[in-house]
Structure 1
Amino acid sequence: MHVVLVADHAFVNGGQAKVAIDAALGLRERGYRVTLFAAVGPPDSRLEAAGIRVVCLNQDDIERARNKLAFVVQAIWNRESARRLAAELKLCDPRETVVHVHAFAKALSPSIGVALRASGLPLLYTMHEFFLVCPNGGFYEYPAARICRRIPMSRDCVTTNCDARSYPRKLLRVVRHAGLDHVAGLRRLFRHVVTISDLQERAAAPYLPAETVYHRVDNPIDVAREPHGTEGRADFLFVGRISTEKGAPIFAEAARRAGVRPVFVGDGPQRDDLAARYPEAVMLGWKDAPAVRSLMRGARALVFPSVWYEGQPLTVYEALACGTPVIVSDACAGREAVEDGENGFWFRSGDPEALAAHLRRLSDDTLAARMGRAAYDRYWLAPLTLDSHLDRLAEVYETVTREAAPAAGRDARRRHSVDGAETPATALR
């Protein structure tokens, strides 16, 4: 099988790209022929070394854009990505190819939909976020700091400023989403959609066609299994972007009320404000993966107070793999990994006093040790390894290609005829 992976970035700059690149390397190791098509480089050096074909347009994303106006045009409708993707997909045999789209919103734009439809190839889309159905990709009102429950692209949606920066930027997203829906037709293009949490599917399903087929494929995490220990676990830990939507201010306030010390690993727009308002907070900045795992293994609990949906917050699973209980907001998908009262606690989203109550409970050494052991044992019964991720992907690819097989055979015969190897007269015999 030939798998064409489509993503904004050809290098790891976050969770989406990491999943796509890890999958590309894993599929290639299993004997698949793999192509990665991306807008932004430079490509990860491991790809070419593994024998993966990389088609990188070397374009900008919003973080690197030298000409902001030119990037606005690219973000709304990237003509080059549509043209290059169409040319690449023409080289693919429909009988043995599946095109798996991971991301388009940061650089490729909805224009890829035109090329995807014209190819006639079997298609699959992984919903890492909500850009397929929501203009700002998150069902979240940044200025109001709350989950948005408006119908996407309704009058109420269009007239509401939900963007993190400005209303004009929201209107640009609206224009792009109109192109996504009415020109590219992306929502109707992907019959098969991979989701990474139950909450995500429930949030998106009302805005996707009724015939959409959903496949649950958990993202992989890279945590080595080490013996579980309980000695010296003291800190309540936050790992991630220090921002309002991630609930960082709620954790700082809850920790003060509970009389415990909050430790933050990460950075973001709320860091300086929280450091000034809560001088007892420890701000460690960003750490590399081994250092984060070490901090998790020494923590009494991970606190994940996110006030928006999230997709599948891997930080939660990483903590559980380290034998660390998790206190999680009941509004986000992270709650799906936590059995309330067993390997952690749920708390009412946005409520610092509800979070503080659980921080006080977990100050009890016996309870913290019991929950840590439960977290460790439950996670390692079914760990989210790359192998399990690839096994599940293989099942989905088989389903998608099997369904598309009759049409793929017709397309292949049609191409054969057009190429001159078969004339209309001989095709009739």
Structure 2
Amino acid sequence: MKILMVNKFFYIKGGSETYYFALKRLLEQHHHTVVDFSMKDPKNFASPYERYFVENIDYNARQNIASQMKLGIKLIYSQEAKQKLEQLIRKEKPDIAHLHIFQHQLSLSILDVLKKYRIPVVYTAHDLQMLCPNYQMMTHGKICERCKGKRYFNCTRYKCIKDSTAKSLLGTMEAYFNQATRKYDIIDKIITPSQFYRRKFLQFGVNPDRVVHLPNFLDLKQPKIAPNQKGDYYLYFGRLSKEKGILTLIHSAIQAGIQLLIVGTGPLQGHLEQVLRKKGTHRIQLLGFRSGQELFHLVGNAKAVVLPSKWYENGPYSAIESLMLGRPIIGSDIGGIPELIREGENGFLFHHGSKESLAGAIRKMELLTPEEEQMFSDCSRQIYQKYYTGTAHYPKLMAIYQEAIQSKHPPKQKEGYRR
């Protein structure tokens, strides 16, 4: 099978790219051809199809009014992406398209090309962009579903996109344009990595027959973790941003009196450094960016990994990696996080945003005996093996592909013999 794979970034920027390249490897291991379509960037990996990639667009860069208007039109409908994708399709003739994060830089103009050539389309919803103009369903630090019922004007009213009236207005216009032109209707199957996201799509009026749950997966070989080096620390690793709930975690760690290591970078880094200096605690450390074997050791030797998010997480890779390495998880009761935790078996849940509830979950973990800790560890590995490997993922994805193909190209009925 020849599969057109679309994602606006062609380097590891976040979870969607981690999945994209893992899936690309998995499909190629099963002798499928993967045709890439993305945006040019100096950080990109090599691709034989990169001549078809669109020019780089940075919507966060400072622009004059004329440039902003030009980019705004591209955000809603990119003629460049449309033309280049058509050239690629005419050359490669893919059997199916699998979309990931494509909005804005590639825009929904590419859906018109897929419709023109009657290509079956599968879309993995790594975020909530299809339902919410700011993709997070979070406004000024709080969960927000005001756009439910296609009330997208609320995005501008509450300045939901980067607290900017101009960017929020652009997001509102894009949402209403997509609604009026029914662009998303061309998508045959919508994959949600969490059951929570599937429920959210249904609540926002998407046809249940189009939405299917399929967890993300990790295709790494089981990393070797040095034996007898288990630490007495808790670990957070990921992006340092407000919606991740890291400030709640820091206050809870101080309250519970534990050692906490924080791995990652992001816009909140400077503020976290100030907070820790003011608190005068040496039991909490910011380690910055870590990767590869160094990160595996940090995760694999942690007493538990903490996911303190305050927003609708989907299927976070930090949790899946923790399961793979047999680590207990303490996670907030929001989004897709509870689906990765069996309460009292491989971790504990706490009420999102609550310092007291998180501190209580940490204390439960502290009370576990060594035998119970081993049971939690074994349970995490079992969950990973059952749901989050490439072996588990591949046949389910192939079934979704076949359903999408049949919905676009139903098998022809054999004509009966006439008497």
Same fold (TM over 0.5): yes
| Alignment map for 1:7-406 (pairs within 5 Å) | 7-42=7-42, 45=45, 47-48=47-48, 55-62=52-59, 69=68, 70-91=70-91, 97-141=95-139, 143=140, 145-152=141-148, 153-154=150-151, 155-183=153-181, 185-210=182-207, 212-225=209-222, 231-279=229-277, 280=281, 281-364=284-367, 366=369, 369-382=373-386, 384-406=388-410
Structure 2: segments with no counterpart, 5+ residues: 414-419
Structure 1: segments with no counterpart, 5+ residues: 411-429
The one-letter amino acid paired with 2:185 is: R
**Is the partner of 2:258 in helix, strand or coil?**
coil
Output one character per residue of 1:334-389: Cα deviation in whole Å (capped at 9) or x when no partner: 21010011100000011010000111222235166245423444235415223433
Q: How many residues align?
A: 401
**Is the partner of 1:31 in helix, strand or coil?**
coil
Output one character per residue of 1:262-305: Cα deviation in whole Å (capped at 9) or x when no partner: 21101222222222223422000011132221101111111101
Distance 2:219 2:62 in 1: 31
Matched residue, 2:416: none
Cα gap change, 1:226/1:38 in structure 2, threshold over 3 Å: closer, same or farther? closer
The one-letter amino acid paired with 1:232 is: K
Cα gap change, 1:264/1:173 in structure 2, threshold over 3 Å: closer, same or farther? same
Distance 2:155 2:53 in 1: 35
Q: In angstroms, what is the RMSD of aligned CA positions?
A: 2.7
**Is the partner of 2:349 in helix, strand or coil?**
strand
**Is the partner of 1:8 in helix, strand or coil?**
coil
**What's the TM-score, normalizing by structure 1?**
0.85
Output one character per residue of 1:219-264: Cα deviation in whole Å (capped at 9) or x when no partner: 2224433578675321111111122100000000101111112211
Cα gap change, 1:364/1:206 in structure 2, threshold over 3 Å: closer, same or farther? closer
Output one character per residue of 1:378-405: Cα deviation in whole Å (capped at 9) or x when no partner: 2354152234333322221122112322
The one-letter amino acid paired with 1:388 is: A
The one-letter amino acid paired with 1:146 is: K
**Is the partner of 1:302 in helix, strand or coil?**
strand
**Is the partner of 1:236 in helix, strand or coil?**
strand
The one-letter amino acid paired with 1:32 is: H
**Is the partner of 1:128 in helix, strand or coil?**
coil
Output one character per residue of 1:39-72: Cα deviation in whole Å (capped at 9) or x when no partner: 2335855644xxx787322322436788862433
Distance 2:234 2:80 in 1: 48
8 Å Cα contact 2:155/2:171 also seen in 1 = no
Cα gap change, 1:77/1:314 in structure 2, threshold over 3 Å: closer, same or farther? same
Cα gap change, 1:324/1:127 in structure 2, threshold over 3 Å: closer, same or farther? same
Q: CA shift at 1:328, angstroms?
A: 0.3
**Is the partner of 1:220 in helix, strand or coil?**
coil
The one-letter amino acid paired with 1:405 is: H
The one-letter amino acid paired with 1:6 is: V
**What's the TM-score, normalizing by structure 2?**
0.87
Cα gap change, 1:225/1:383 in structure 2, threshold over 3 Å: closer, same or farther? farther
Cα gap change, 1:350/1:119 in structure 2, threshold over 3 Å: closer, same or farther? same
Q: CA shift at 1:320, angstroms?
A: 1.8
The one-letter amino acid paired with 1:22 is: A
8 Å Cα contact 1:301/1:327 also seen in 2 = yes
